Amino acid sequence: MNNDDIKRDEIQRQQRKRIGAAVEDYMREDDDFEDVDTYIAPDPDEVFIKLCEDGSEKKPRLSGGDGHNPPGKPPAPSEEEINKRRREIRKELIKGKKIHRDIMISTYFFVALFVGIIAYLCYFTYSKSDEFLASEYNSKRQSVYADKYIRGDIKSIDGEILATTKTDDDGKETRVYPFKNVFAHAVGYSTKGNTGIESIGNSYLLGSHTALLSQALSELKNQKIQGDTVVSTIDSRLQKAAYEALDGQKGAVIAMEVKTGKVLLMVSRPDFDPNKINEIWDDMVSDESNSNLVNRATQGLYPPGSTFKILTLLEYIRENPDSYDSFSYDCDSIYENGEYSIRCSKQVSHGMQDLKTAFANSCNGAFAVVGQSLKLDSLYDLCESMGYNSAIDTQLLVSKTKYSLTKDNASLWDVLQTSIGQGGTLTTPLLNLLIVSAAANDGVMQKPYIIDHIENANGSTVKTFSPENGRKVMYASEAKILGEYLRAVVTEGTGGNAEGKGYSVAGKTGSAEWSKGQDTHAWFVGYAPFDDPEIAVSVVVENAGSGGGVAAPIARAVFDEYFGNN
């Protein structure tokens, strides 16, 4: 190794160091590389051609000027110049790599964004579009479907046909309801707008889940496609039993499975024959005194009367968890406070009452006292958590219930009245049903639903509706206490008429005053069997007398049918 070699090695080492330092400098400054800022892209075509030719081109691509390139045949570049240019190339490379990376990141961003939209569109079509199709506002397009599909059948869970479409030889379609008035409100009608299951299940009835190929073939032949069958949770036997029990009365009966929320029956009277809806329509709409078209089970607003005591009781237990069973009240049929007085039903003196007997006997005086001890805001919150002051979240068409007593607006009279379910409070049979079924289901309030599953025209199930997770509205311990109290109503209080042979019932009666000089609305809400609740029922009979006398037997008719006593 001679001196020259050593010298060259040394120079190269230094050069490496310098290059390394330059790169590091660059990395550190990152963005403020002012030295290359003046760069303007050369005509890339020219550069490209030159690059493709031999390496005789001497002009450094990255320098702004060409000062250090003497004209004519250039000499071989000096080491220093080569190193300088190499540094520049490296700098460009690092810069270029970063830009490349960032452009790729931007590209991936858009790929993710678009994949996201596509996923959303598919998700929407798969699981959300039915909701919009079924919307009551979507009348324009629903008529398009009526041209394409034969409206599907509606069946009860026990296999009876509740609605079907008959096509005559001329191709004219008629909707037929074999049960006539019995399912008038539950199934509804489909010619004057859609109501009931005809409305809730509309998108299934006017749609088909048979093989796409056979559908395409039908379209080719210009044939109508048979729509899907909607199978309701309603049992036609229970429906009939309730319908007959309510014969000659105005009112509603509704029942559901406490553990799932499946609606088992839904009757409202007075009613109508949906087969003749077009002929009777004008009379029905103009007749305001009977309101036959209104589904009283979900839309009828009634004062809850003594059935409200369930909530008064629950609030009292919550506020006095240790001492509620030491409550006592001596009833002499009338409770007086200043200028106000509260009477017990039928002027009965209940005598010495503890909380349970007062509840069982529905002693108004005792509950007027209980009510005055309660925190009104807390009672208000309890009522709202049960579903008062809102429309219940369900597919059914419901009315908004009302509970208005707060600390701000409470007069003594309001407090007394509200504690026993009078005052301004308004409920629906459905809400009362949900409250009592929550007590029956360890405090969990299930969401009521009325469509069990969808079958295609060939009879195979294409979609099943499952109970949604219910709302916990009270502790299981509270539900247990309520259960015992509700049981006492039937065993030793006003609700004895609700129980038949072979099953045990828990429930609450109510006789709601609604207008001076008129007979009370009769209420019964309850469930059975007491030990392992399966079915909850809510009954209201308008203008009919006492809950225990009129409504409880109707509930018993439903229980009898359910437990097979007939």
Q: 33 Cβ partners below 8 Å, 6+ apart?
A: 26, 91, 95
Gap between the Cα atoms of 245 and 557, Å rounded = 7
Q: Nearest approach, Cβ of 280 to another protein (angstroms)?
A: 30
In 201-258, alpha helices (H):
202-205, 212-220, 236-245
Stretch that binds another protein, among 123-131, 172-180, 188-196, 414-422 (CB under 8 A): 123-131
CB 407 within 8 A of CB 377: yes
Question: What are the angstrom distances between the C-alpha of 363 and each of 48, 323, 462?
Answer: 101, 19, 52
User: Does residue 90 interact with another protein by CB under 8 A?
Assistant: yes
Residues 180-219 that bind another protein (CB under 8 A): 212, 216, 219
- The answer to whether the Cα torsion of 81, 87, 93, 98 is positive or negative is negative
User: Does residue 564 interact with another protein by CB under 8 A?
Assistant: no
User: Does residue 99 interact with another protein by CB under 8 A?
Assistant: yes
Q: Nearest approach, Cβ of 19 to another protein (angstroms)?
A: 9
DSSP string for residues in 442-504: TTEEPPPB-EEEEE-TTS-EEEE--PPP-EE-S-HHHHHHHHHHHHHHHHHSTTGGG--TT--
Q: Which of these, 292, 249, 250, lies nearest to 271 by C-alpha position?
A: 292
User: Does residue 32 interact with another protein by CB under 8 A?
Assistant: yes
Q: Nearest approach, Cβ of 449 to another protein (angstroms)?
A: 21
**The only residue of 25, 30, 468, 484 in contact with another protein, by rule CB under 8 A:** 30
Q: 97 Cβ partners below 8 Å, 6+ apart?
A: none
Q: Nearest approach, Cβ of 122 to another protein (angstroms)?
A: 7
User: Does residue 394 interact with another protein by CB under 8 A?
Assistant: no
**The only residue of 7, 12, 14, 377 in contact with another protein, by rule CB under 8 A:** 12
User: Does residue 80 interact with another protein by CB under 8 A?
Assistant: no
Stretch that binds another protein, among 84-92, 150-158, 183-191, 400-408 (CB under 8 A): 84-92
Q: Nearest approach, Cβ of 72 to another protein (angstroms)?
A: 16
Q: Which of these, 525, 460, 519, 513, lies nearest to 489 by C-alpha position?
A: 525
Residue closer to another protein by CB (options 58, 318) is: 58
Q: Nearest approach, Cβ of 77 to another protein (angstroms)?
A: 6
452: tokens are 């069990």
CB 47 within 8 A of CB 61: yes
Q: Nearest approach, Cβ of 105 to another protein (angstroms)?
A: 8
Residue closer to another protein by CB (options 23, 176) is: 23
Q: Nearest approach, Cβ of 54 to another protein (angstroms)?
A: 7
Rg (CA), the chain: 39
**The only residue of 21, 89, 352, 412 in contact with another protein, by rule CB under 8 A:** 89
Work out the number of other CB atoms within 10 angstroms of the CB of residue 363: 31
Residue closer to another protein by CB (options 144, 285) is: 144
**The only residue of 7, 13, 141, 407 in contact with another protein, by rule CB under 8 A:** 141
Q: Nearest approach, Cβ of 211 to another protein (angstroms)?
A: 13
Q: 333 Cβ partners below 8 Å, 6+ apart?
A: 343, 344, 347, 348, 349, 350, 365
User: Does residue 21 interact with another protein by CB under 8 A?
Assistant: no
User: Does residue 37 interact with another protein by CB under 8 A?
Assistant: yes
User: Does residue 10 interact with another protein by CB under 8 A?
Assistant: no
Q: 303 Cβ partners below 8 Å, 6+ apart?
A: 421, 422, 423, 425, 426, 427, 512, 513, 514, 521
CB 187 within 8 A of CB 196: yes
Stretch that binds another protein, among 132-140, 461-469, 535-543, 545-553 (CB under 8 A): 132-140
User: Does residue 4 interact with another protein by CB under 8 A?
Assistant: no
Stretch that binds another protein, among 104-112, 320-328, 352-360, 551-559 (CB under 8 A): 104-112
Residues 339-358 that bind another protein (CB under 8 A): none
Residue closer to another protein by CB (options 91, 309) is: 91
User: Does residue 137 interact with another protein by CB under 8 A?
Assistant: yes
Q: Nearest approach, Cβ of 197 to another protein (angstroms)?
A: 20
| Burial annotation 427-465 (CB, 10 A radius, 16+ → b, else e) | bbbbbbbbbbbbbbbbbbbbbbbbbbbbbbbeeeeeeeb
Could you tell me how many residues of this chain bind another protein (CB under 8 A)?
75
Gap between the Cα atoms of 37 and 164, Å rounded = 79
Gap between the Cα atoms of 564 and 244, Å rounded = 16
Q: Nearest approach, Cβ of 29 to another protein (angstroms)?
A: 10
Residue closer to another protein by CB (options 21, 144) is: 144
User: Does residue 129 interact with another protein by CB under 8 A?
Assistant: yes
Work out the number of other CB atoms within 10 angstroms of the CB of residue 265: 29
Q: Nearest approach, Cβ of 95 to another protein (angstroms)?
A: 8
User: Does residue 220 interact with another protein by CB under 8 A?
Assistant: yes
Stretch that binds another protein, among 44-52, 280-288, 292-300, 341-349 (CB under 8 A): 44-52
Q: How far apart are the first and last CA of the chain?
A: 118
Stretch that binds another protein, among 78-86, 311-319, 414-422, 480-488 (CB under 8 A): 78-86
Residue closer to another protein by CB (options 65, 159) is: 65
User: Does residue 44 interact with another protein by CB under 8 A?
Assistant: yes
User: Does residue 133 interact with another protein by CB under 8 A?
Assistant: yes
User: Does residue 282 interact with another protein by CB under 8 A?
Assistant: no
78: tokens are 């000096």
